[in-house]
Structures are given as C-alpha cells and as structure tokens.
Structure 1
Amino acid sequence: MRVPLFLLLLLLLPPGGSAQFPRACAQLAALRSRTCCPVWEGDGSPCGERSGRGRCRASRGPGVGGRDFRLGWPTSFYGRTCACRGRFSGFDCGECRDGYRGSDCRRWVLTVRRGLHEMDRAQRRRLVDYLARAKATVSPRYVVLISRNASDVGSYRFRDASVYDVCTWVHYVAAKPISTRRRPNFAHMGPAFAVWHRRYLLFFEKEIRHLTSDEDFHLPYWDWTRAAACDICTDELMGANDEDGYLLPPSPFASWRVRSRPSTPPTKPQPRLPPKHKPLPDSAFPPYLPERPSLTAWRPQSTGPSPVAIEWNESQGWHP
C-alpha cells in the first residue's frame, strides 16, 4: 500500500515542528548557518544538552522542497535542529511531550476532554478570556514568515503575530494548495485530516498554557447534536450575531480583525457592500476590550531582529 506524500510528511515532522519559526531561529546567523538549536533557559545550553534533554543534530526530513518549503520542512530552512530525548519536546527541548507534566516531565496526566455543556459559567468565562488574551498578546515564542520568496535567505521577512494568530497561521500554511485547490493539501481532503488536526489542537493548547500558566487548560468539545439551534452563539460563549451573520458586542470576538495576505493583488476593484453589511466601527465596542497589539516586521539582522514599522494595504498585504 502506498502512503500519500502529505501523510508521510506529517509523520516525519519532529515534535514541535509545525512550520512556525521560533524567534531565536529567525536571526540571520541561524538562517545562514541553517541551524535552529536555541538555548534552553533552564541550563543555558543548546537544546538543554547539559540536562540530557536533547542535542543539536542533523534535521530529519524528506530533504526536498524546491518552491514549496512545506515539502522539505524543516530541512528547507534548517539542516540542524534540536532532537529531544524521551519525555522532552519543543524547539529547545524545554517542554514536555504531550501527556507529561512537571519540571522533569515525569508526571503522566491522562486528559479527558469535557463538553461545553458540562462546563459551569466560570469555566466558560475562563475559556473566552483565554482566547481573548491570546488574540491580544504578541507571541514571545514565535514569528511568522511573510516573504513571497522562501528560497532566498536575504529576502526573508518575519512578522510579529499574536499567540492566536500564530496558531491560525500554522493552519493557513498547511491548508494552502499543493497543486490545485481541488486536490488534497497537507491538512484537508485526505487521510491526514484527523491526525493533522489532532496534532494541531495539541499545539494550540500548549501555546495557551504558555500564555496563561494554566497547566490544566484543555479545549472542550461542542456536541452540536444536543441542541436544535446554535447554543454556543451567545454573548457568554462564541457571541451572538445579527441577521447578516456579524458578531455583536459585548462578545470580545466581535472586535477581532482578520489580517490576510493575498497571493496576488485583485485585478479589479472590489464591490462596495451595502451599509448594513459593513463591520461595526471600533467605537461601537466597549472600552474594556483588549487593544490590538501593534505589529512589526523585520529583516533578519546579524545582531538580532531589528523591528521596522510596516503598514497594512488591503490589496497588497503587509509591506515594510
């Protein structure tokens, strides 16, 4: 039986390697040397080698990529990465493998996911608060690549992104077409769908735990068969919407803005929407909602990232 390429690549991905870039590995020195072996703060050594957590070694991967860097991740960018031992994981081997907890990752924890219908009001409020915080907090751990040319180190551009947006970027990158939109990609329309999204949710949960220091956080599930209508479309949870489908205040999600980068500029002006379809202005939202973080992008520098201001252009995307 032949294994589809996109499923094979999924199985070859190392723990913590989900096509996102650790800040330490977005430096010019790391990119030019093709080495992503960050120092673990716990012992001051690359990959936590002094503590026996891992070591820096040649990356395992298909070794191909060409114009599509996903086909050779992580070897499209790095020839050496952290190889974590035993119960350790993460880009610097500073985390525990899924299911383990504690400073030495020796405590095994069995996770039983709860349904939203089983959560009390305080637990639901905590879920919404964590998601709102993730959207408003720039990730201290990762940056995202926004270059059009991923094969030239000198052309790389990285951008700060919120914790939530880093997670959505991982999904966006995996879901982009490999050949055509009608054929399977790395995350959808094939046997990798369930496995890839299981791994993706584990990554999302870890980033929320890093942000909140809440080791007990897990995403609940929604059993939509229990209700005749959308029982999570309330201000307490995902937000109520108007007749046109727009979320309404006071839901914190109503203030979220989507930022995307089209692959090519539109060829003709976009039609104007009727007034009733326009998104609500910022002034319509309560003042207690978290402000959107200021976003910066930079070119890799030999002495570290040097942020420069960028501006958003609706047709072109992010540009310095």
Structure 2
Amino acid sequence: MNAHGSGAFAPDWLALRERADAAARSAELLEPLEAALRTRSAGEPRIVVDLGCGTGAMGRWLAPRLSGPQHWVLQDRDPALLVRARDGLPHRSADGGPVTARIRRGDLAHLRSADLAGASLVTASALLDLLTGEQAAGLARACAAAGCPALLTLSVQGRVELDPPHPLDGAIAAAFDDHQRRGSPAGRLLGPDAPAAAAAAFERCGARVQDRPSPWRLGAGDAALTAEWLRGRVAAAVEQRPGLAGAAGAYLDRRLEQCAAGRLRALVGHRDLLAIPAGADAAAHRR
C-alpha cells in the first residue's frame, strides 16, 4: 500500500487525487526555486528529472509555473504510466517557452548520481514516505553530486484531523502510521518520518532546505477521494493490527456514511521540501 493507504499506484487513484494534490502543493517554494534555477543552464532548456512520475501530475502542475524552455525526463517503473505522463505534459512554460519530454524506465531504489547528470532540477511527489532512510540519503547524495535543487512535494507527516471526530480515530491513526513504517526488503520505510529525515539528509550534503505545509483539505466536494482514502487507510490499519478488524468495520461504515452525506471533513497533513545546493543558493543570493 502507498502512504495514503491506497492499494497501488493505479491510474484511477492517481487521477482521483490530482486535484487535491494540485491545491495542496506549496506555491511559496516556487520563488526561491526560480532564483536557484536562474544560476543554472542560462539560455538552455531546464532539464527537470521527475522521479516516480506516475501519470505526470507533477509536470502538469509545475511546468506551467516555471519560466523558460524545459525538457522533462519522466522516470517511473510502469511503462503505461510513462506514456500517459509524456502525453499529458503541457507544451508551454509560464512565459511561453517550449516544454518537451522524454520517458525513462527506472526505480528510485537504484538511483545513481549518473542518472541526474545535467539535471537542472529533480522533482518527486508523494514519494519520500515510501523510501527507506538509506534511499532518502542516496537521493540527497545524488542531487548534491549533480549540483541541482530538488522539489519534493506531498510527503505525509502523520497528521490527520477528521470532523466530526470518532473515538477510534486515534487507534486507526497509530496503526496506520506503524504500517507506513513497516519493513521492506530494502529496510524500514520512513512513512510519516520522511519529511524530517529527508531534510536532515539534504542538509548533511550541504543543501539549504526549506519546507512548507501542503495539506489536503477535503470536504463535501471531495467525497470520492475521501472515501477511497478512508478505505485504504482502514485496510492498512487492520493489516498492521488485526485486532482492530471488528471495530474498524463499523468505523469505516460510519465514516463512509458521513462522507456520502457531505458531513465529513478531513485535513491530511503533508509537507513540501525544497533543497537547494550550497553553490546555487549562494549565487541566487548574490543576484
């Protein structure tokens, strides 16, 4: 399961969450990002490597908000998602510059510094919490070696507020967070510890890190997304703590009823992280 509890990165789930993701990402980080990018690839297309691109939602959000010509390298393990990402990328940047793309199959677990050679920017969305600490450190080292900023958005942080509250909210949340920190063949996943762990990893590599909250704020107009998120969240909690199964079934039924009636509100916490290499940061401040 992914960090929101959905069973897979299926296109339907990615499409369902795209509007909420776009509304949640922090626009505050774009100004310092642009300042850093102005120190790189002057007059040349900005090379943006989008790791775990999925259907390309990050590119659809970011490409028209960044200036200048851009060339996106869309990386994912799923070839069908890669085609969708490439075909859905906007054709123009914020100031009308051309936006082009190519696709590349790859797994972030095996990222090498050479994979980022020539990159102006590395991006990823809803990905850090699915990494181990060593994988996050490897990403930071690869970005440092390439000398490029990284914009890493929508990492879950374990903060969820539901209105109206329910007595089982705390137990579900604790079990879900434990599930997100579960072990994998590569080690223990970061889950809600990812924002802090990734920030520390980039700072150890000399980067200046800024982060901002980027919560989902789900209401009556988000019933389909909220319902799917709830199903995955409860399923993950029960998988982690099978003793919750009986009570969790009634809990989910009640929450889905409230959702269908437009009476449920949810705040799902995330954080966005911008890591700027020391060289690019210093040059941006001189301008």
Q: Comparing both chains, which one has the higher relative contact order based on Cα–Cα distances under 8 Å and sequence gaps of 6 or more? A: 2
Question: Structure 1-normalised TM-score?
Answer: 0.24
Bigger Rg, structure 1 or 2: 1
Name the one with the larger helix percent.
Answer: 2
TM-score by length of 2: 0.25
The answer to which structure has the higher strand fraction is: 2
